[in-house]
């Protein structure tokens, strides 16, 4: 099969790329890197059956050659992302899904939509079967995500009924695992990184709200089975085992040996955040013969190992454009600063070859991993405001191309004036 995975550089998308390649298929990952990163697929670059295309699927998608399946996973997915990117979220759910369905129709490809348990909103039925229509506030802050996905489901069914496109809809429940972003704001990376830094875990609300956690390998298996099945109506894929946030926090602290405990912040509860959510997976069991296999403790051990390595490798956090975007750096908020709370020493890579065109017109193309002049400036403003960073490494990603050594000079000067601290 030749498979297109939109959102292929994201957390789930990149695991799908791995799986489809391992199963012997040709894989095209399409992503605009809005919330994803090429780090997630770096190990696949150069693979003879893998291709990465940087493209915003909200715009028309053109692809040469035949296509057997499209897995449409492009969309901001964590609350922090979609609250910061409300219009992009609505656009990718609506226009992006439309474009991806159009491509499926043109190529005669099977189409699988990544939908979500959020279509059930703050559910009045517990656990939620696929037949439950949900309880969603369309004008609440989460409406941008929930309604985009509901619209995407409706559009998928319309293409199925009216254009005969062969479609599948997976309603994904809370999934975790390696390649989640440290700063994505969801409870799993939040808790793990706090625990690894031996800080108290911050639980929103009173910690009594429940969540079910599905390990990414279980999800990928469910998606593959659904794609190959004949089921065209939505199917829940999630882990029905429920934990309170308090129980979950205690487990993370135990597995990481974190002595710092838990703090509860009732004031930080996100508006319309469901109190309970649990999948009814009767249908997945019946139709796909699927059920989750990975126990929470086992999945957490693997995920903790991933984050541990990430934090160690970086020693300190290396910020790239992705992080700058994700941190919402153009709008500095108390929350953004809180996310930097653990940072004392920072390693920043500046890309000499990606200077802001207004500073150096016509200079080169960006090098992955480097910050441009503008991004660097924004980052330093943020750091200056946080007042927490006590040392800063400045590294040029591509000094060879910076013949006049301009970037380093500019950056050091900027850092000195903005941070007013010793620069290493």
Ligand X SMILES: NC(=O)c1ccc[n+]([C@@H]2O[C@H](COP(=O)([O-])OP(=O)(O)OC[C@H]3O[C@@H](n4cnc5c(N)ncnc54)[C@H](O)[C@@H]3O)[C@@H](O)[C@H]2O)c1
Contact footprint for ligand X (CB under 6 A): 6-7, 9-13, 31-36, 56-58, 73-77, 92, 96, 114, 116, 172, 174-175
Choose between 175 and 372: whose C-beta lies nearer to ligand X.
175
In the sheet that holds 317-319, the strands lie side by side as 317-319, 345-350, 391-396
CB neighbours of 51 closer than 8 A, spacing ≥ 6? Answer: 26, 27, 28, 29
Q: How far is the CB of 89 from ligand X (least distance, A)?
A: 8
Number of helices (H) and strands (E), helices first, in the chain? 14, 16
Q: How far is the CB of 13 from ligand X (least distance, A)?
A: 6
CB 277 within 8 A of CB 173: yes
Choose between 154 and 424: whose C-beta lies nearer to ligand X.
154
What is the β-pairing status of strands 214-215 and 201-204?
unpaired
Q: How far is the CB of 388 from ligand X (least distance, A)?
A: 27
Choose between 19 and 347: whose C-beta lies nearer to ligand X.
19
**Pick from 19, 4, 51, 14: nearest CA to 35:** 14
Q: Where are the beta strands (DSSP E) in 55-150?
A: 69-72, 110-116
- SS3 helix, strand, coil % of the chain, rounded to 5? 45, 15, 40
CB 204 within 8 A of CB 265: yes
Residue whose pair of structure tokens reads 């929930």 in the numeric block: 146
Give the whole-angstrom CA distance, residue 115 versus residue 37. Answer: 21
Choose between 321 and 360: whose C-beta lies nearer to ligand X.
321
Residues facing residue 346 across a β-bridge: 317, 392
Choose between 13 and 292: whose C-beta lies nearer to ligand X.
13
Coil, strand or helix: which one is 290?
Answer: coil
Upper half-sphere CA count for residue 77 (Cβ side, 13 Å): 26
Choose between 167 and 258: whose C-beta lies nearer to ligand X.
167
The two three-digit tokens of residue 341, written as one number: 């709370």
Q: How far is the CB of 233 from ligand X (least distance, A)?
A: 17
Give the whole-angstrom CA distance, residue 116 versus residue 352. Answer: 41
**Pick from 321, 352, 348: nearest CA to 424:** 348
Phi and psi at 264, nearest 5°, equal: -105, 135
Give the whole-angstrom CA distance, residue 2 versus residue 27. Answer: 6
Choose between 184 and 402: whose C-beta lies nearer to ligand X.
184
Q: How far is the CB of 216 from ligand X (least distance, A)?
A: 8
Residue whose pair of structure tokens reads 């309970």 in the numeric block: 276
Choose between 278 and 407: whose C-beta lies nearer to ligand X.
278
Give the whole-angstrom CA distance, residue 381 versus residue 332. Answer: 9
**Pick from 216, 259, 265: nearest CA to 245:** 265
Q: How far is the CB of 392 from ligand X (least distance, A)?
A: 28
CA 121 to chain centre: 20
Q: How far is the CB of 180 from ligand X (least distance, A)?
A: 7
Active-site annotation holder among 60, 62, 132, 145 = 145
Question: Is 145 in the active site?
Answer: yes
Q: How far is the CB of 217 from ligand X (least distance, A)?
A: 13
Catalytic positions are 145
């Amino acid at each position: 099969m030749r498979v297109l995975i939109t959102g292929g550089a994201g957390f789930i998308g990149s695991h799908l790329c791995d799986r489809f390649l391992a199963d012997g298929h040709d894989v095209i990952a399409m992503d605009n890197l809005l919330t994803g990163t090429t780090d997630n697929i770096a190990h696949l670059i150069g693979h003879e059956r893998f291709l990465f295309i940087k493209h915003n699927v909200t715009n028309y998608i053109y692809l040469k050659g035949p296509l057997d399946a499209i897995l449409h996973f492009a969309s901001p997915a964590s609350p922090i992302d979609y609250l910061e990117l409300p219009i992009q979220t609505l656009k990718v759910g609506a226009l992006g899904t439309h474009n991806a369905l159009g491509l499926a129709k043109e190529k005669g490809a099977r189409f699988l939509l990544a939908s979500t348990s959020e279509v059930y909103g703050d559910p009045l039925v517990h656990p939620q079967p696929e037949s439950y229509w949900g309880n969603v506030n369309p004008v609440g802050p989460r409406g941008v995500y929930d309604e985009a996905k509901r619209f995407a489901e409706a559009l998928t069914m319309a293409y199925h009924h009216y254009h005969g496109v062969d479609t599948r809809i997976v309603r994904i429940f809370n999934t975790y695992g390696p390649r989640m972003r440290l700063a994505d704001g969801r409870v799993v990376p939040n808790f793990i990184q706090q625990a690894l830094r031996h800080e108290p875990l911050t639980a929103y609300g009173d910690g009594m709200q429940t969540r079910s956690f599905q390990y990414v390998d279980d999800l990928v298996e469910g998606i593959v089975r659904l794609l190959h099945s004949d089921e065209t109506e939505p199917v829940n894929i999630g882990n029905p085992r429920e934990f309170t946030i308090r129980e979950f926090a205690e487990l993370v602290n135990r597995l990481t040996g974190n002595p710092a405990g838990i703090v509860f912040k009732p004031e930080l509860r996100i508006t319309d955040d469901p109190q309970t959510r649990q999948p009814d997976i009767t249908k997945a069991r019946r139709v796909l013969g699927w059920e989750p296999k990975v126990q929470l403790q086992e999945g957490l051990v693997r995920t903790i190992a991933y984050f541990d390595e990430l934090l160690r490798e970086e020693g300190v956090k290396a910020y790239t454009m992705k992080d700058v975007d994700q941190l919402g750096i153009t709008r500095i908020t108390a929350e953004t600063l809180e996310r930097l709370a653990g940072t004392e020493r920072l390693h920043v890579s500046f890309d000499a070859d990606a200077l802001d065109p207004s500073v150096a017109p016509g200079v080169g193309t960006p090098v992955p991993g480097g910050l441009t002049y503008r991004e660097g400036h924004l980052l330093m403003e943020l750091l200056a405001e946080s007042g927490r960073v006590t040392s800063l490494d400045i590294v040029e990603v591509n000094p060879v191309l910076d013949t006049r050594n301009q970037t380093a000079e500019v950056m050091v000067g900027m850092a000195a004036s903005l941070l007013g601290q010793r620069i290493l």
